[in-house]
Structures are given as C-alpha cells and as structure tokens.
Amino acid sequence: MNFKHILMAGTFAGAALVASHASASVLDTVKQRGTLNCGTDNTAPGFGYLNTTTGQMEGLDVDFCKAIAAAVLGDASKVKFVTVTDKSRFDAVLTNQVDVVFAHTTIKPARESSIAIDFLPINFYDGTGVMVKTESGVAKFDDLDGATFCTTQGSVTETVLTSAFKARGWTASKVLTYENLEKLFAALNSGRCNAMSTDKSALAAWAGNSPKPADYLILPDTLDKSPFGGFVVANDSRWRNALRWSSYGLFQAEESGISQANLDEKLKSEDPFVQKFLGVGGGYGKDFGLPDDFVAQAIKAVGNYGEIYARNLGPDTKMFLDRKGTPNALWTEGGAIYSPLWN
Amino acid sequence: MTLEHTNATGLTVERDLTVARRRRNRIRYHATQLAVVVAALALVVLFAVAVKEGLARHGIKFSFSFLWDAAGFDISEGKTFVFDSGFWLGFSDFTSDRSIAQAFVAGIVNTIKVAVLAIVLSTVLGTLLGVGRLSTNWVVRNLSFWCVEFVRNTPLLIQLVFWYFAVVLHFPPIAAAAKFYGVIISQQGLYVPALTWQGEGSAVAIALASACWVAVLGLVFDRHRTTRWICLGALVALPSLMLATGTLALDFPVASKFQASGGTSISPEMAALLLAIVFNSASYIAEIVRGSIDALPKGQWEAAASLGLGRRDTVNDIILPQVFRVVLPSFGNQYISLTKNTALGIAIGYPELFNIYGTIANQTGHSLEGIVIVMASYLILSWIISAAVSWADRRLSNPGAMR
Amino acid sequence: MIARSLTWSRHNLFGKPFDVLLSLTVIPGTLWLIYQAVAWAVGMAQWDIIPQSLRVLMIGIFPADQAWRSWVAVAIIAALLGAALGCVFAFRTRHAGFLALVLAILVSMTGVNTLAALTAVLVIFASAWILTSYVPMSRRVLIPASFTGLIAIFAVMSPPGAGLWGGLLLSVLLTLVTAVLSLPIGVLLAFGRRSRFSSLRMISTAYIEVMRSVPLILVVYWIWILMPVLTPELNLADVVRGMVGFTLFYSAYVAEYVRSGLQAVPRGQTEAARSLGMSEFDINRSIVLPQALRVVVPPLVGNVLDIFNAAPLVFIIGLTDFLRAGQMILANPQYGNRTYEVYSFLFFTYFLVGSLITFVARKLEAHLARGSR
C-alpha cells in the first residue's frame, strides 16, 4: 500500500466503498504503467510465433494482444510480449508478470476453479487431434494401440490421451511430454513418437509449414473439443470486463461490416449504432474505464476478427484453415463467433 | 578470600576490572548473537507472511492435501511405491490412477536411477580419460585432452540436446533395428534380456537367492581377500545353478509394431541424459584425476621405475591407489553436481523429479508446495551422497583397509 | 628428418604392443571422423542459414531499429573486459595484430555492413586494455567502473523492454551481472562462515550448503515464481528475476572459493596486524581479503565459465538466450533440416568463448604462481 494507492483510495472513496477490498484493478496498473504485458507463446505458428526473418511476433494471439493494447492505451505498439510456455502461463498471470495471457489456452472448469484465473471470450474453436507420418500407414486413432504419443507438458492433451487409452483398454501406449511444440515435431520426424497429439490447428500449422506437407496425416478423430480463450487473474471484474468487451468488439465489427480498410469512412457514418460503437461523440468505453473509441482503436490496429483470422490462419496462409463450416465462422454464417447485443 | 581483600586491594581491583571487561565483552558477544538470530527469525517470518499474503491475494491456498488426489496423467516411464497388496510395500509401474504423491516418488526414483548409473560410469570413464591424458601414447594423450577440453568448455544443456536429437533419435526405428542375441538398439530404446524370477515360494529357490545376497554383501564389505574371492565365485556359481534349475529365466524382448515388450529397456531419453551427464562428469573427473596425479611427488614414479615396474603396473598399483585416497572428496562434489544436473532431463522429456514437478504444478496449480517437496528431495539426495563419500573416505584412510 | 620422425613415432605411438594396438585403432577412427566432418562442412552443409539468422542469434527479438542500443552495450562490455585484462596482462604491440585478426574474422562472418561498429568496439577494447596496462591509477576505479558500466547497460538496453533481451548478448550480460554481483555477496558469506558468532556462522553455512545441494534450474525457477508473489508492486522483468536467481545461486559457490582463499592466508599475517593494533574489520579488509582474492582469481575466472555454460538454463523461465535462439530458428519447419548447421555454429561459438575464458584462467594461474615465487 504505497502513497499513491492511499491517495487514489481517498479520491475515489465511493468506489472504494462499493469494492469491498481496496486492491487496485490491473486496468489501473496498465494505464499507469503505459504498457501492456501480454503473455504469448513464441513457437506456435498462427497463434504466437516469432518470425525469425523480420524479428516480429505474429499470430492470432499476438493480434489480440495488440488489439487490447490499442483499446486500453490507444496505441498498439505499447504492448510488450512476454513469452510463456504451456507450463508457465498460469504462474505468469497469477504472479502479475503479465496482465493477460493469450496463448492458445483451452477453457475448462478446473482451471477457473482451482488456479484462480478468469477466462475471456473464446477466440478460436479447436479440438485435440492426432498427427502421424503418412509412411506409418496409420489411418485412424484405433490403429495406434501400443504406440508412443507425444504432447506438450502441462497441456490438457496429457489427460485427454490418458482417458482415451483407458476407454479403449490400452496398456502399452505411452505418453511422452516435451516442454514445447518444436521438440515434439522433431521427435515425430525422427520416429521417436509414433503420433503427435495437440490441438488440430497447431498440427495443421506444423504440417503446413514443413517442406513436405504430404508427409503428415492428421487423423480424422477428434479426441476432445478445445475452445481457446485468453485469461486474466481471478476476481478483477473491471479488468476482465474491459477485455471481454474489447474482444466482443472485434466480433461485432465483423458482423457490422466495419474493417481496418473502411474504418475512416465508417467513422463518418450517420448510423447511430455505428457512431456509438466506434465512440464518435460518446460510446461504451467510459463505463469500463476505457477510452470511448476503444473499439475503433483496436480495429485501426489489427482489423476485425475476420481480418485477424484471415491474416494468421486463413486459406492464404500456410495454416490453411478455412473458417467455412467450422465453429470459427460468424454466427450469421452458421458458426459460433457471436457477440452479445451492444445497444 | 578475606585475606585477599584486605592485603591486595589494588590487585583485586585490577582483577575486578578485567572481569568486568570480560563480562562486558561476553555481553556484547551474546547481544550480537541474539541480534543476528532475531534478525534471521524476523526475515523468515516476514518472508512467510509475504508469501502467505501474496498467495491469499491470488486466491491460492497453501496445502499439501493435493498429494493424495488421483494423478490423472501418465508418465512415460517410472516405478513407484504402491500399497496394493495390503500391508506389504510394493514397487510397480506408475499409472494414471495412482496419487500425486506416488508421481513424485516415480520422479525421485527416475532421478536416482540416472544418478547412480552416471556416478558409476563417469567414475570409470573419467579415470580412464584422466590417466589417458598422461599416457605415453601421443594420440591417446591428445585425444583425451581435446575431448575433455571440448566438453568442459561448452554448456551441458547443448550437449544434452545434441545427444538426444542428433544422436539417439537417429538410431534405426524398431522395425529396422538390428537384433543381437535379444539386444535391440532402436530409437524406441535399448532393450536387453532380463532375468525373471520363476521360483515362486519354493524354499530352495529362496535359500539360493538369499545366498546370492550374502555373497554380494560379503564381496562389498568383507576385508579379507580370500573371502572376497569365495564370494565372487559363489556369485558366478549360484545364478548359473538357478538358471539351470529354472528358478531364474531369461526374458527376451520381442519387437512388436510400435515398441518391444519383455526384457529390460532404457528409454531414448534416459540414454541421452545418461550419455550427456556421463561424458560431462567424466571430463571433470578426468581433470581431478590428472591434477592429483600431477601433484604426486615425482619420486613415486622414479621409485617404481627403479623397482623395475612397468608403466601400467606403476599406474595401477602405485599411482591410482594414492590418487583415489586424495580425490574422494572432490569426487563427492562432482557426484553431487552430477545428481543436480539430472534436472536438465526436463529439456528432453525425461520424467525425472523436476520434470514431473512441472507436470504436477501445471495440472494442479500447486507449484509452491511442489517446490518445497522437490527442494527437500534434492537436499536429502545431496546429503546421502556426501555421507556415503565421507564413509568411503574414512574407510579408505583406515589403515586396516590398505593392502 | 625421416629418421627423427620415425624415432618420435616409435616413442610416442608404437612404444609397446598395447600402444600399437591403441594407435592402430584410434588413429584411423579419428581420421575417418574428421574426414566425415570436413566433407560434410564443405560439401553438404548449407551455411546460408547462419548469416540469415545472425541477428536473432546475437540479440534475439530485440527490435532491429533499436540495434544501436545493443552495440552500445557491447561497447561497454568490451571496455570493461579490456580494462580487466589490462590489470593482469600488459598490452603489447603484438596484441594489436591479434585484435586485427579477430576483427577480420568477425567481419567475414557477419558481413561488411558491421565493419564500423565492430572496429569501434575493438578499438574501445584495446584502449581500455592499454589504459589499465600503463596507468596503474586507473585500476583502482575498475570496481566502481564495472558497477557503473552495468547500470549504464541496463539504462541503454531497457527502453524497448527488458523482455526483449535475447541471444548471445543476453547470455553474456547474464554472465557478467552474475559474476560481478555474486562477488560481494560471496565475500560476505565467506566471512560469515568464519565469523566469531556461531549464529552468523550457522546461517552462512546453511545458505551455502543448501544452495550447493539444489539444482540451479530449480533456484532460477523458484525465484522467478516467488518474486512477484513477494513484491507485487515491483513487477520485475523475467531477465532481472533470472539474474537474481543466478546471483543467489553462484554467491554460494563464490563464497566457497573465497573461503579456500581465506584459509590460504597465513595466520601470522592476521596476528602481525593484530599486534599492530588494527581493528578486525581493517585487518580483514586490507590484509586478509586482498591476499585471499589474489589466490582465488583463477578459480573465480573458472566460475565465470561455469556461469556462462549454465546460462542456457534460462529457457525454463521463457528467456531466449543463445541456445534457445538457435532452437527457435530450427522451430521454423522450413529450416528443420538445418539442425547440424545451427548446432555446429552454437557449439563452435560456445567452445570459442569457453576456451578463451579457460585460457585466461590458466594464464592467470601461471602468472600468479610466478608472482608468488
């Protein structure tokens, strides 16, 4: 409790009365610090990946970090990427090293109930898949009795595989865990692992980026659904709400046809909803402790959800993950990307 | 007393002064002691309170009860203690329905497994390299020198990663691996035939097995040379007898589609970790051995030469026995750091203690409690090693042990 | 000539039957290995990946437009190392030729566009070396200068964010900071272990023994988790927390080296000083410590090598050091088949730096042994 906190508590005495414990929200910390510490992976192509030729971070998760920085601080360059692994990501947010984590993390109840984190809206729908080398002649999951499966340490896949073995009564199958995906892929290539198991999107990325994508086969079986979401430390609803609605803003922007390209034109729009949504003459931001134009800033930085998806995962990228017919399409097109009502 | 007081007043005053000064010094000494203790205690309490508050702020509860929950994850290899068969303590493979505590035990067992093997192998290899550096053969001398230099001047982690990804994983796959009298070397692991117990509860078989143990103990602990030879003979004869009568059988590994079953196996991860640690520690041990050979008086070599001893005999009978007496404490330090180095297994997926801790911390969120357990385990391991080394040291410097 | 080489080989290669056997198996084997390695390095290896990813290897993901900051840091490091070198070995003209050779090799490896920067760094290195070689006064300011230098490096490198430090520069910085900071803590611990006060003795001993019994990777990970829990206001960067972990760990090792040095100081020295009426503090500071430190300089330099070799362990807290940077390049599936090229380069660089440190340590040992005679 330093002097500044006391001063703040005094000034906002009313607010302090409402919030029973006077601990400040991460939102205030971020604004005061002027930068956003965002935890991402740097070995997951399409999500969080260091482009070694440009030295820049790229990916869906990275773009979400930038969007949040733009929404909260008005400047997408005020984001500091902190590398987290599957193993360290929860500790990183619990111990305040990062303000938020976007690291292809599966949302599941045990994580919110026992690790003291709160999840943000789902930003990608994935499922646990299994990839083998084409030359192995394996066509479906049931062919793999007795095989060695490899996965990352600390991921959901570890327990998913264990229960899949149990359900099938396999006793000889083994699970080998590495601390990152690049080692996993190397182990699959060398033949140490008969199968590599992680989220299907990551499997697609590694196969698609390899010199010979035809060497790999992603089995049709989906062992488990895994919806991805960012997360923040628990019991900080101001921060969580600000981030939730920033994410929803990206979904709504796509639905309302507002993109990075037509943003300037939409800012002059006469439509009262668009005006309020983009914060022209008063918007939604103030209630969350954000600037009124937070959605506009986020769109200016990275575009709407559709643009982020197309840039990092779409058919034009090496990931080659088409949105059509998957939950990742907008709800108006039969998918599950859905923003609550704004007005 | 009274006499002193009356007759030598000046002397008493002086003595009183000395006593007073001594007392003052003693008080000052104890006050400082007390201050240090209080400060240390305050620091510990402050630390504990800060941790507790920090945890409370994040809604984390500090408790060890998670240890008894079912693990729910698999470990690629590892045995643990089980209580399945009632009162008796069993020892069997870890499976996902065992408890978290048993997962920790499996990690400790894996760590000890690698550490013990590495201690034995690196001592042998290190002594060879150390003697090799002083060889009269130019090639051997230089090769040993450059091997030691290269290993000591590069990080262990890169050596480990190299052994694993560039060497062990380039072995042939199990289907194409060469099979040599039941030994299979493949990227799925190294398989060798194993001895299995077929004697069930028969009294003769148990008596034979106990005799074997007695022979082993005799070989290790008895100081008479003849008794040792007898024990060694018994150790050859008894198992052959048991094999012949069928109380012991050889279990050959059989390759199947993805891996081999039967026999004993070393996983690729363990093989790579062992290779990296053995070569690394051997280089340090070689330096210790070379250093202490250099430190021996030259007269030892000259005396041996004047007795007409060959170089090999000189090294074996004169130099090395003296060296081993000197280097044991340094070896002990090396063994401790070797055991600590097994924690790098996490980089290649070997399920040693630190790696399993990582999995547990992730699946349960109890990272701080886990750290306490892991730290205590390593402390105990280190203490065991230094106790063992100082026991061996005492035994070696005991005149009765000298030949 | 031929006769002499024959005698040489008879003595050194084929002295005894066992030697003959050894030579006949080891020589062809070694030659075959060397041939294979050279054939691969010259013929099959595609080395273009090294210059392409050199920046990532050297400074990790540090922004390219801020690269001048890393050059400044390198210059400060060069000045400090040069000054330290000058305290022991005087600069001679022949060393200039050697430095020119180093420059030529570095430029040929990194390309011409870094010529000016590399030259500047080497000139700074040489000037610092010359300064401390010939101006004894300047040696006194070395310790404050190294602390100032480290602070300056932090100041110049921090603006883009400490989370972005990486590559070989991070490995070197981590090593330097740990080496410099662990020295005073280690000295205090060593004195604590010999203190008159049993409580102080026990605490120091316990600290040293515990730190020496647990793996470094554990200490680093533990400090990394615990520091934010203890001091949520501070919000220290991963790099700083890594450095704290390394410093706390290596202080225990430094303490043991210093303690062995303290034991080497003859008792007569202390007794003589005490009889002159010096206070305990003064005796320790100006009589015992300087002599002890002199003895332990070579093992302390060896300790620097240990720190440098342990630096890759920071992968556990998500930092991108030199080794991790190399692995990250290989993580790009397009470069997946360049494993051996990248690892060769990493091994080569590590071996070069490691051998240099070992060389300095050995020279120092010889130098001090000569000096004390």
- What are A128-167's pLDDT values in tens digits? 889 999 988 888 888 888 888 999 887 778 888 988 998 8
Mean pLDDT of A262-290: 88
Q: Which of A17-21, A223-227, C226-230 has the lowest mean pLDDT?
A: A17-21
Statement to judge: residues B295 and B381 lie in one domain:
yes
Q: Which of A27-36, A85-94, B148-157 has the lowest mean pLDDT?
A: A85-94
Statement to judge: residues A143 and A120 lie in one domain:
no
Statement to judge: residues A111 and A174 lie in one domain:
no
The pLDDT of residue B1 is 45
The pLDDT of residue A102 is 95
pLDDT above 90 as % of chain A: 33
Q: Nearest Cα to B111, choosing from B364, B356, B367, B363?
A: B356
Among A89, A97, A177, A196, the residue to mutate for chain B (most B Cβ within 10 A): A177
Statement to judge: residues C247 and C361 lie in one domain:
yes
Mean pLDDT of A189-212: 86
Partner residue opposite C329 with nearest CB, options A2, A52, A83: A52
In a domain, B90, yes or no: no
In a domain, B112, yes or no: yes
Statement to judge: residues C251 and C317 lie in one domain:
yes
The pLDDT of residue A246 is 93
Chains that touch C (3 or more CB pairs under 8 A): A, B
Statement to judge: residues B349 and B267 lie in one domain:
yes
A219 vs chain B: nearest CA distance in angstroms?
17
A52 vs chain C: nearest CA distance in angstroms?
6
The pLDDT of residue C351 is 94
In a domain, B194, yes or no: no
Would the pLDDT of B222 be above 60?
yes
Helix ranges restricted to H, chain C: 2-12, 17-39, 49-52, 54-59, 67-88, 93-110, 115-134, 137-140, 142-157, 167-193, 198-213, 216-230, 238-264, 267-275, 280-283, 289-310, 322-331, 339-372
Statement to judge: residues B16 and B110 lie in one domain:
no
Statement to judge: residues A115 and A158 lie in one domain:
no
Mean pLDDT of B108-123: 94
Backbone angles phi, psi at C83, to 5 degrees: -60, -40
Q: Nearest Cα to A176, choosing from B258, B249, B318?
A: B258
Inter-chain CB pairs, B–C, below 8 Å: 137
In a domain, A304, yes or no: yes
Statement to judge: residues B29 and B158 lie in one domain:
no
In a domain, C52, yes or no: no
- Any CB–CB contact under 8 A between A210 and chain C? yes
- Any CB–CB contact under 8 A between C23 and chain B? yes
Statement to judge: residues B29 and B138 lie in one domain:
no
Mean pLDDT of A233-255: 92
Instruction: Specify the 3-state DSSP secondary structure of A244.
Output: helix
The pLDDT of residue B189 is 81
* pLDDT confidence band for B318 (50 / 70 / 90): confident
Q: What is the pLDDT of residues B79-110, one digit of tens each?
A: 888 766 556 666 778 887 888 888 999 999 99
Domain encompassing residue A140:
127-226
Q: Rounded to the nearest 10 degrees, what angle do helices C142-157 and C67-88 cross at?
A: 170
CATH classification of the domain holding B274: 1.10.3720.10
Cα within 13 Å of Cα(C303), Cβ side: 25
Statement to judge: residues C216 and C324 lie in one domain:
yes
Inter-chain CB pairs, A–C, below 8 Å: 77
* pLDDT confidence band for A13 (50 / 70 / 90): very low
Statement to judge: residues C34 and C154 lie in one domain:
no
Please judge whether A175 and B73 are an interchain contact, meaning their C-beta atoms are less than 8 angstroms apart: yes
Residue C71's CB is within 10 A of a number of other CB atoms, namely 18
Please judge whether A172 and B259 are an interchain contact, meaning their C-beta atoms are less than 8 angstroms apart: yes
Please judge whether A179 and B346 are an interchain contact, meaning their C-beta atoms are less than 8 angstroms apart: yes
The pLDDT of residue A9 is 40
Based on the structure, what is the number of domains in chain A?
2
pLDDT above 90 as % of chain B: 26
Based on the structure, what is the number of domains in chain B?
2
Q: Which residues of C touch B379 (CB under 8 A)?
A: 210, 213-214
Instruction: Specify the 3-state DSSP secondary structure of C321.
Output: strand
Which helix (H) or strand (E) is A123 found in, with range? Answer: strand A117-133
Statement to judge: residues A138 and A221 lie in one domain:
yes
Which residue has better confidence, B257 or A67? A67
**Residue at which a domain ends, from A199, A226, A253:** A226
Which residue has better confidence, B89 or A7? B89
Statement to judge: residues C155 and C176 lie in one domain:
no
Distance CA C206, CA C164 (A): 36
In a domain, C53, yes or no: no
Which residues of chain C fall short of a pLDDT of 50?
A: 373
Partner residue opposite B359 with nearest CB, options A94, A153, A174: A153
The pLDDT of residue A302 is 93
Statement to judge: residues A132 and A216 lie in one domain:
yes
Statement to judge: residues B145 and B288 lie in one domain:
yes
B88 vs chain A: nearest CA distance in angstroms?
25
Backbone angles phi, psi at B264, to 5 degrees: -110, 145
- Any CB–CB contact under 8 A between B362 and chain A? yes
A63 vs chain B: nearest CA distance in angstroms?
26
Statement to judge: residues B16 and B145 lie in one domain:
no
Token couple for A283: 């918007």
In a domain, B151, yes or no: yes
Mean pLDDT of A195-210: 86
Statement to judge: residues C76 and C222 lie in one domain:
no
CATH classification of the domain holding A174: 3.40.190.10
Statement to judge: residues A252 and A116 lie in one domain:
yes
The pLDDT of residue C9 is 74
The pLDDT of residue A10 is 40
Statement to judge: residues C69 and C85 lie in one domain:
yes
In a domain, B79, yes or no: no
Mean pLDDT of B246-275: 79
User: Amino acid letter at C217?
Assistant: I
Q: Which residues of C touch A53 (CB under 8 A)?
A: 52-53
Mean pLDDT of B150-174: 89
In a domain, C279, yes or no: yes
Statement to judge: residues A203 and A62 lie in one domain:
no
Would the pLDDT of A173 be above 90?
no
Question: What number is the ipTM of this complex?
Answer: 0.88
Domain encompassing residue C137:
65-159
Please judge whether B169 and A192 are an interchain contact, meaning their C-beta atoms are less than 8 angstroms apart: yes
Partner residue opposite A85 with nearest CB, options C318, C331, C332: C318
The pLDDT of residue A22 is 40
Statement to judge: residues C257 and C342 lie in one domain:
yes
Statement to judge: residues A102 and A132 lie in one domain:
no
Mean pLDDT of A92-118: 86
Instruction: Specify the 3-state DSSP secondary structure of A316.
Output: coil
Statement to judge: residues C252 and C326 lie in one domain:
yes
Domain encompassing residue B13:
2-57
Distance CA A192, CA A172 (A): 15
Statement to judge: residues C228 and C322 lie in one domain:
yes
The pLDDT of residue A242 is 93
Q: What is the pLDDT of residues B46-61, one digit of tens each?
A: 888 887 777 776 666 7
Statement to judge: residues C112 and C134 lie in one domain:
yes
Statement to judge: residues B35 and B158 lie in one domain:
no
The pLDDT of residue B206 is 78
Per-chain mean pLDDT for chain A: 85
Please judge whether C313 and B157 are an interchain contact, meaning their C-beta atoms are less than 8 angstroms apart: yes
In a domain, C49, yes or no: no
In a domain, C364, yes or no: yes
Statement to judge: residues A75 and A143 lie in one domain:
no
Would the pLDDT of B178 be above 80?
no
Q: Nearest Cα to B264, choosing from B113, B108, B121?
A: B113
Burial classification of residue C370, based on how many CB atoms lie within 10 Å of its CB (0-12 exposed, 13-18 middle, 19 or more buried): exposed
Statement to judge: residues B168 and B301 lie in one domain:
yes
Would the pLDDT of A53 be above 80?
no
Statement to judge: residues B328 and B392 lie in one domain:
yes
**Residue at which a domain ends, from C101, C130, C159:** C159
Statement to judge: residues C182 and C314 lie in one domain:
yes
In a domain, A5, yes or no: no
In a domain, B360, yes or no: yes
In a domain, B231, yes or no: no
